[in-house]
Amino acid sequence: MLNKFLNLNAYHKAHLFDPLHEKEINREKLPRVLPPSLARLELSGEKYIDIPREVFDIYSKYRPTPLYRARQFEKDIRTNCEIYIKDEGATPTGNHKISSAYLIAYSCKKDGIKTVATETTGNWGIALAMASRRFGIKAVCFMDYESHLERPNRKALMEGFGADVVIVEPPPQQEVKDLLTLSANAAIEFTKRTKGAYYIFGSVYSYFIIPQSVIGLEIKTQLAELNKYPDIVVGTCGGGANLLGTAGVFLADIVDEKRKTVIVSAEAESCPILSEGKMGLYSIDTLKYYPLIHTYGLDGLRDGDYVGGLGSTVVASSVAYFHSTGLIHVNRFSSEEAMKAAEIFHKSEGKLIALETGFTMAAVIKQARENSNKIIVANISSGETDKKFYE
């Protein structure tokens, strides 16, 4: 197993800004809102960062996750491209987020933190709950009412791992479109009134993105064992964890080695964060609490179906940076197209994938049909607890 994370902030400096005055936050001030260990990680410009021994030991129980060729899927969508699937469904929580959760919970434990609060549409909360339990920390997860309606089993799963779960309802007589901000605000209100508690965001910030790099680093090694290197890497972008986790090392190779790999992000029609987002200073909350980052933000969500974790109106600064320099391309899909792609994958490969991964698969199908004899790679999260979508 690999023993270092890749930090994309080595390619563009990470700045954080005070939400009240929009002035750059320095190293000394950041630990007021971020656990000190995560604040250090957030501002690090080191290209490679050692995986702490305790976290490495936990990873080694489930990493590297499998990489396999989806031959039946290739056949069913009639492509001569080779499609490789990195199965993050094979992690303890069935999705990519757990690898960040372990590093975050370990860092909080080291900093003496007893309580963490977060927002979730379901998947991330389960990961934080599981990792927090492993390190003896209390997790309090704020889940929006619509995600709870769509994924009713998630609350019990988080509680099963010892987390407290609060379902966040919209304010009376108001329709709320930005569900992540709704629950992030609620988690931050809780953090402010709870002594010693810290708010953790389930994507976007470097402390979350950096540990995701293990996915792409493993893909590169696993493909190298087959004497292959990808031509096209597909991810889907909520806050950017999945996309940068899968594609980060290949973006680095484009810059360092002038590789010609095409990086594609699948986005939801109702949340066109990459194609319509504007560069500026943003945070996920509207309470002027969490640090602002220089990145793309979206003025709100468009009408459309439920998109789970793809409804983030802010992305990681590395996503904005690499998109603005032309290295990340965008394919946009409706939820219906995503669900259809998920069904095709399920029929071909016998694996249920998460709603969000359906968007990835829609882009994989598009790329496989538009290209010839290319090597395509994408990562999947499990949809085993999403079964409602397939009924």
**Site of interaction with ligand PLP (CB under 6 A):** 95, 121, 123-124, 203, 236-243, 309-310, 354, 356-357, 381
Alpha-helical runs (H) found in 194-325 = 206-225, 241-257, 273-276, 317-324
Output 95 or 185, the one with its CB closest to ligand PLP.
95
Q: Closest separation between CB of residue 65 and ligand PLP, Å?
A: 14
Q: What secondary structure letter does DSSP report for 44?
A: -
Q: Closest separation between CB of residue 240 and ligand PLP, Å?
A: 5
Output 34 or 352, the one with its CB closest to ligand PLP.
352
Q: Closest separation between CB of residue 171 and ligand PLP, Å?
A: 24
Q: Closest separation between CB of residue 213 and ligand PLP, Å?
A: 13
DSSP assignments along 332-343, one per residue: EE-HHHHHHHHH
Q: What secondary structure letter does DSSP report for 266?
A: E
What whole-number distance in Å separates Cα of residue 280 and Cα of residue 96?
28
Output 212 or 261, the one with its CB closest to ligand PLP.
212
Q: What secondary structure letter does DSSP report for 386?
A: G
- Cα–Cα nearest to 129, from 210, 202, 60: 202
Output 115 or 147, the one with its CB closest to ligand PLP.
147
Q: How far apart are the first and last CA of the chain?
A: 38
CA torsion sign, 169 to 171 to 177 to 181? Answer: negative
Output 70 or 109, the one with its CB closest to ligand PLP.
70
Q: Closest separation between CB of residue 319 and ligand PLP, Å?
A: 8
What whole-number distance in Å separates Cα of residue 391 and Cα of residue 372?
34
Output 79 or 291, the one with its CB closest to ligand PLP.
291
Q: Distances from the Cα of 186 to the Cαs of 141, 233, 377, in angstroms?
A: 10, 35, 37
Output 79 or 204, the one with its CB closest to ligand PLP.
204
Peptide bond into 35 cis (omega under 30): no
- What's the CA angle centered on 384, arms 383 and 386, to 5 degrees? 60
Output 109 or 129, the one with its CB closest to ligand PLP.
129
Q: Closest separation between CB of residue 313 and ligand PLP, Å?
A: 12
- What's the CA angle centered on 67, arms 62 and 73, to 5 degrees? 135
DSSP assignments along 73-111, one per residue: HHHHTT--SEEEEEEGGGSTTSSTTHHHHHHHHHHHHHT
In the numeric block, the tokens 């249920």 are attached to 352
β-strand partners of 50: 4
Q: Closest separation between CB of residue 242 and ligand PLP, Å?
A: 3
Q: Closest separation between CB of residue 208 and ligand PLP, Å?
A: 8
Provide the 10 A C-beta neighbour count for residue 173: 5
Output 79 or 335, the one with its CB closest to ligand PLP.
335
- Cα–Cα nearest to 311, from 153, 121, 140, 154: 121
335-349 vs 355-370: helix crossing angle, rounded to 10: 80
Six-digit token string for 139: 């997790």
Please identify the residue of the shown chain whose CB is closest to the bound ligand PLP: 309
Q: Closest separation between CB of residue 82 and ligand PLP, Å?
A: 23
Q: Closest separation between CB of residue 237 and ligand PLP, Å?
A: 5
Q: Closest separation between CB of residue 357 and ligand PLP, Å?
A: 6
